[in-house]
Amino acid sequence: MRTGIFLAALALAAAPCCAAADTVLLKNGDRLSGEVVDLGNGRLTVRTPYADSIELDWDEVERVEGEVAVADEKEAGTAYSGRAALAASYVRGNAESERFYGDGELTARAPRYRYTLSGKAERRNEPLAGTSVAWLAAANYDRFVAEKRFVYVRGSLEHDRVKDIEQRAALGAGYGAQLLESRRASVSLRGGLDYVSVDRQLAGDERYPALGWALKAEAAPWGERLRLFHEHEGFWNLEDTARLFVRSKSGLRLPLVARLSATAQINVDWERRPAPGRKSTDTTLLLGLDYAW
């Protein structure tokens, strides 16, 4: 099956503009003839000879017939998307300083699976501590077992000496739901078990199983003029339930030109029992630019 999916994706990517027409059968009984050029994020894009490209919600599609169809058409394409952001920030919390911040994300999405790679980095210049770099890298794989339900595996690695974190690694798996997925709104929720390993510079190292969860949401309630987003993930120590930490970011993107947007974002990292001498909450306000593809 995976070989068939791969070959179908290659056929879709390599198909010329004059390729044989595909036929899209909708659940309401309508038929649409054209060339299937993209399938991802819950949307099917068809280039027709009599109109511009037409986008359809996959939920409206009964099946696809033609060159790119496979035994299960819902695996017949993978869409790639990503974004990168740069910002300057003012911070209060464990340190007060000016920071330069960047983050990025790359997603491969097909109706049956989704891969996501993400990361962020901050360069800090602090009067007492000097220059330091904090970073977080994460990877996630979702396998859809139903149209809106999936199982997942995820992992992350973090370094932040200001929080007395030489290295914090988390690896886990669980079950999730894609509550919404369209151009106007996207919401996913997941929960499961993680194993967390923390190496510190000053305090003692930690190893523990955790209850993990994550929420990711994006919406454009007023069209493409403004997009709102919120993401957070949490880890609750199952051996010492008084310990819990959460990472989150929320903000808005205002389109400027083409794929470039202005962004306003706030990152909040909260730990119920931080390392000795550290504060529980770090809040970072970011103003910058975001490029999407």
pLDDT in tens, 62-82: 777 765 443 344 445 688 899
> Which residues are bridge partners to 81 per DSSP?
107
Start-to-end Cα distance in the chain: 29
The rounded mean pLDDT for the chain is: 84
- Where does residue 85 rank: exposed (0-12), middle (13-18), buried (19+ CB within 10 A)? buried
| pLDDT value, residue 93 | 67
**What pLDDT does residue 257 have?**
92
- Summarize pLDDT for 250-267 with one digit per residue, the tens: 999 999 998 899 999 999
pTM: 0.72
What pLDDT is stored for residue 28 in this prediction?
80
- Arithmetic mean of pLDDT, 178-197: 93
Per the structure block, which two tokens stand in for 243? 């310990």
Q: Name the pLDDT band for 19 (thresholds 50, 70, 90).
A: very low
Lowest-pLDDT choice from 10-24, 92-106, 170-184, 234-248? 10-24
How many C-beta atoms lie closer than 10 Å to residue 248's C-beta? 15
Which of the pair, 183 or 121, is modelled with greater confidence? 121
The pLDDT assigned to 106 comes to: 96
**Tokens, residue 263:** 């962004």
Q: What per-residue confidence (pLDDT) applies to 21? A: 65
Q: What is the sign of the dihedral through the CA atoms of 163, 169, 171 and 177?
A: positive
* pLDDT number for residue 92: 65
Q: Report pLDDT for 262.
A: 97
Cα torsion through 253, 81, 19, 72, rounded to 10: -120
Residue 182 has pLDDT above 50, yes or no: yes
- Nearest Cα neighbor of 150 from 179, 172, 170, 171 is 179
pLDDT band at 149 (very low <50, low <70, confident <90, very high): very high
**Mean of pLDDT values over 145-166:** 94
> How would you classify the pairing of strands 113-126 and 97-110?
antiparallel
